[in-house]
Structure 1
């Protein structure tokens, strides 16, 4: 099993096409096909199903792809760390960000790391908290923001903040950040909500269960952007973390207000793999992220957020 075979496998899986993979890898199409065929012969199992929608990995391939991504990531990181400039922290760091914090964190984090540690290459991944935790467990990412999580056997957690959920409505609803909205008011409107199984949906369902009103859910989606667009189009109200709508409310595209009766908060934490020591570039990015979140909360740029009890703790090596 060779690195070029694993690279071909992962690239085809990501783009769903041998032709596209060949272009990305700067090789001819038959070379990619040959690498996949050699892997299949070595392992004795088919790795892809060819469908009208493209190349679809088989269950056996999914197992190999997960481990191949981790191996390729570790090798990329090792190459970067072995060629640092004198006195410079260098390497590749993969960071998981919740979709709801992208607007408020992605650009400032990129700027902060580029300014303090120009030798570090950031790779930003977004997803639900459950997906990010899984990627962190398997080593596909180095650190991640997660929510409502404590230490696990494989992960060390640094609490960062607690934030309220907001009711989100079209601009003409006139919701205001300094005037909390009761759940009963929200439930009186059609609702656009995350799909069942989403962590945010679990918080929403728990809160509305104490209000004696049946919700009228008109749309469920797995996309926060789609939630906001459907609200803007007049299909109903929704519920989101404050950070996910701060820019839209400030720009007048939506209106929003903290929810009350009952109040609902979620905790945002920084998840790190349990290791005897953090690699220098990972520790540098973790510190930059922690500092940035603290600054945003303290300045009020992260609406309806307050520091967690131990949010001032800096990331440190976890016990093995």
Structure 2
């Protein structure tokens, strides 16, 4: 098993075609077929089967693709870091952003990285806190924004800001930003929420017993876009940080009111792994991310957020 074989595997998996994979790798088609054959002989199992839509991964192929992506990413990182000490910062950096923060942070982060560290290749992964934590621990991302986690043997966490949550409803609702609502008020409302163990759901599960509230959850979804779309169309209400709906409220597609319960706020932290070395490029991009978050709070672009980092 070698790098050429793994790159051929990923190219066919991503394109669904040996021909298109050969074009992407700038080699001839028989060479790709040869690499796949050698790889299958090495692992002792078929990696692809022909389906209606081209080359489809077998179960063995899916397992190998998952590990191959991580292995090649680590090699790309190592190659970028092996350079003279006086060279400019370079490398591949993958940052995990919470779904609610991506629209606010992705573009300014990219712009500033381009200006300060043009040799850095930035990748942004977006997801719920539970997904981001899993990706961080598995090595798929280098750093992430998470909710409320404490430092653990595998993760170091730097608290950055506190933010209040709000209840979000359709345009026809009576929610108002100057009229806070208590969690107990929502007991009979149809709620559309993420499933456990994702951040906001965990906060709600912890807060509900203390207020004697049992929420009426009519749908669980781990896509924030689906949450908001269903609320817009009148299927229920949801609970989100204000930053996630600021534009929707401004366009009058949604209405929102802050939650008055003091425990219903999230602390966003910058999380880094304790189990592997932090590359210079990762440290540089994280510094820019923290700076852009602080600037957003100071400009007032992040409503209800309070900066707490020293």
TM over 0.5: yes
Q: CA shift at 1:86, angstroms?
A: 6.7
Q: Does 2:65 align with 1:65?
A: yes
Q: Secondary structure at the match of 2:175?
A: coil
Moved more, 130-139 or 78-87: 78-87
Gaps of 5+ in 1: 313-320
Q: Deviations over 1:160-205 (max 9, x none)?
A: 1222221011233243334321223333322222234433222223
Specify the alignment match of 1:44 in structure 2.
44
Moved more, 133-142 or 28-37: 28-37
TM-score (norm 2): 0.86
Q: Secondary structure at the match of 1:181?
A: coil
Q: CA shift at 1:55, angstroms?
A: 5.6
Q: Distance in 2 between the 1:12 and 1:187 partners?
A: 51
Q: CA shift at 1:250, angstroms?
A: 2.9
Q: Distance in 1 between the 2:15 and 2:205 partners?
A: 36
Residue 200 to residue 17, structure 1, CA distance change in 2 (3 Å) = farther
Q: CA shift at 1:230, angstroms?
A: 0.8
Tell me if structure 2 keeps the 8 A contact 1:84–1:119.
Answer: no
Q: Deviations over 1:49-79 (max 9, x none)?
A: 6555776655544553343222211332344
Specify the alignment match of 1:256 in structure 2.
256
Residue 92 to residue 225, structure 1, CA distance change in 2 (3 Å) = same
Q: CA shift at 1:289, angstroms?
A: 0.8
Specify the alignment match of 2:142 in structure 1.
142
Q: CA shift at 1:41, angstroms?
A: 1.0
CA RMSD of aligned residues (A): 2.9
Specify the alignment match of 1:110 in structure 2.
110
Q: Distance in 2 between the 1:284 and 1:42 partners?
A: 40
Q: Distance in 1 between the 2:151 and 2:66 partners?
A: 23
Q: CA shift at 1:36, angstroms?
A: 2.9
Moved more, 289-298 or 259-268: 259-268
- How many corresponding residue pairs? 310
Q: Deviations over 1:226-258 (max 9, x none)?
A: 110111111111111222222222333212122
Specify the alignment match of 1:126 in structure 2.
126
Specify the alignment match of 2:226 in structure 1.
226
Residue 103 to residue 77, structure 1, CA distance change in 2 (3 Å) = same
Q: Distance in 2 between the 1:19 and 1:195 partners?
A: 41
Q: Distance in 2 between the 1:241 and 1:20 partners?
A: 43
TM-score (norm 1): 0.83
Q: Deviations over 1:127-154 (max 9, x none)?
A: 2222222222232221111222122223
Q: Distance in 1 between the 2:105 and 2:8 partners?
A: 33
Tell me if structure 1 keeps the 8 A contact 2:128–2:222.
Answer: no
Q: Secondary structure at the match of 1:173?
A: coil
Residue 133 to residue 216, structure 1, CA distance change in 2 (3 Å) = closer
Specify the alignment match of 1:208 in structure 2.
208
